[in-house]
Structure 1
C-alpha cells in the first residue's frame, strides 16, 4: 500500500459526525476535503450536516480533513483514507471535495478503500490540460464518480471538468457530471439542490446502490448527455429512494 503523508506534515481528521457519535456501528465514511481558502468553504459545511442527518441510521460518519502545509492535498487525502481504515476497518469511503479539495478527491481516488468520489467545482488547470493525459483518470476506474460545476464559474473553467469527465467516462462508465446553470464557483445560488444531489449520490454509492432518476439517467447516458446533465431547480424536494 502506498505511503501517505503523516498527520505531523499537516493533515488531521476533524471530529467524527454521525453514527460514531451515537455509538452505532460505522458502515461508511465520507471525507470532506475543503478548498484552498477557509474564507470560501463552498457547500461543504451544509453538505456535511445533510449527510449526517440522512445517513446516520445506515451507519454513516463524516470527517472533515483539515489541511496544513508540508504535503499535497492529494497525499493528505490518501493519509486520511488510511486513517479511516485504521479507525473503522474495511468500510467504503467517499471522498467529497470542493475547489482544490475537489481536485484532490479525484487524484486520490485510487486508494483501495475509496468506492466513490464527489468533486465540486474542481480547480483544474485548463480545458486543454484536462482533455489530454496531463491530468490522470485511471485512478477513477471502479469508482462511482460525480462532478458538479456551475456554468458561471469564473475561477475554475467548467469546460475543464467536462473534458476530464469525458476522458474518465471512457475508462469508467460509472461517471456523471451535473451542470448548475447560472451558478458560480461557490455554488451558492442553488446550494440546496447541490447538497440534495450529493446526498443522493453518496448514500446510493456507499450503501443502497439506488439513486434518484436524474442520477441514474446521468450514469447511464452516453457522452455528452450524462456529462452535461442540468441540475433541476428544486432537486431533492420529492426524491424517491
Structure 2
C-alpha cells in the first residue's frame, strides 16, 4: 500500500513577547525574520529562530511603554527557493496574522541575512510601515536574474545595516539596493558597521540600539536620535554609507 505524503506544516508565529505577553494593549508589532539558505525545503532548525530572540527581547524592553509586541516568524521551509521567495510569503502571512490578532496596528519587519531580504520583499503589505534589514542576503544580478524590486518600499521607513567585513552576504549589493530605493523613497538609510562580519557580533550593542531607535521612531512617531535623523536626511552616498561608530549605542535611547 502506497504511503500518503504528510501535509506540509504552515508558517507560524512564535510565542508573543512584550505587551501581548502581559495582556496589555498592543499598539505596534515587530516580526522577527531569521536567516536561512538559498535553497531548502526542509523545516528550519530551531537554532535559526533562536538566533533572533535576543534582538526581540531588546526591542520589546525598549518599546514596553509604547505597547510594542514581538513575534518570531517560523518559516515553512528553510530556503528562499528562487521565484517562490518562501520566507517573503511567510512574512506576508505573518503580517496578516498580526491584523487578526491585534487589529489595525503598524508592523515592523526586522530580518537578518535571508530574513533581511524577506523583510525588504514583503514590505508592500498594507500593515507594514517599517523595515529593518540587517546584513541582508541579496544575490548578484546577472543576465538571468533581475535586481530585487524596490517599488514595495515606497511609503515605508527603511533601515539597512551591513558589516563591511561580511564574507557571507555582499555589503556592496545592499548599498546598490539602498541606492535604488532612495530614488523612490527618501526615508531610506543605511549604516556600515566597520570591521564587523555577517553576524554583527563585534558591535552587537550598537546595532541593537540603532534598530531599537529606528523602530520606536518609525512605529510610534517618538522621533529619532540625531545619528538616525542625520542618516535619513543625508543624500547619497553619505546617507547610505553612514558609519556605525563604536559607542554609538550610548547616543541612542536605551
TM-score above 0.5, yes or no: yes
Q: Which residue of 2 aligns with 1:35?
A: 35
Q: Which has the larger radius of gyration?
A: 2
In structure 1, C-alpha distance between the alignment counterparts of 2:107 and 2:14, rounded to whole Å: 16
Question: Residue 107 of structure 1 aligns to a residue in which SS?
Answer: helix
In structure 2, C-alpha distance between the alignment counterparts of 1:120 and 1:9, rounded to whole Å: 27
Give deviations 1:7-60, integer Å, cap 9, x for gaps: x65310000000111121000000000001655679622211111111111100
Work out whether 1:188 is the aligned partner of 2:188: no
Give deviations 1:86-141, integer Å, cap 9, x for gaps: 11000000000000000000000000000000000111012x56xx9531000000
Is 2:16–2:69's contact at 8 Å kept on the other side of the alignment? yes
Q: Which residue of 1 aligns with 2:13?
A: 13
Is 1:94–1:116's contact at 8 Å kept on the other side of the alignment? yes
Query: Would the alpha carbon gap of residues 55 and 116 (structure 1) be closer, same or farther in structure 2, given more than 3 Å must change?
Result: same
Q: TM-score, normalised by structure 2?
A: 0.86
In structure 1, C-alpha distance between the alignment counterparts of 2:125 and 2:181, rounded to whole Å: 17
Gaps of 5+ in 2: 1-7, 38-44, 79-83
Query: Would the alpha carbon gap of residues 196 and 42 (structure 1) be closer, same or farther in structure 2, given more than 3 Å must change?
Result: farther
Match of 2:221 among 208, 231, 235: 208
Is 1:93–1:116's contact at 8 Å kept on the other side of the alignment? yes
Query: Would the alpha carbon gap of residues 41 and 79 (structure 1) be closer, same or farther in structure 2, given more than 3 Å must change?
Result: closer
Is 2:225–2:251's contact at 8 Å kept on the other side of the alignment? no
Q: Which residue of 2 aligns with 1:5?
A: none
In structure 2, C-alpha distance between the alignment counterparts of 1:84 and 1:135, rounded to whole Å: 26
Question: Residue 47 of structure 1 aligns to a residue in which SS?
Answer: helix
In structure 2, C-alpha distance between the alignment counterparts of 1:21 and 1:240, rounded to whole Å: 23
Aligned length: 232
Moved over 4 A (4+): 37-43
Work out whether 1:123 is the aligned partner of 2:162: no
Q: Which residue of 1 aligns with 2:108?
A: 94
Is 2:210–2:249's contact at 8 Å kept on the other side of the alignment? yes
Q: Which residue of 2 aligns with 1:239?
A: 252
Is 1:190–1:233's contact at 8 Å kept on the other side of the alignment? yes
Q: Which residue of 1 aligns with 2:88?
A: 74
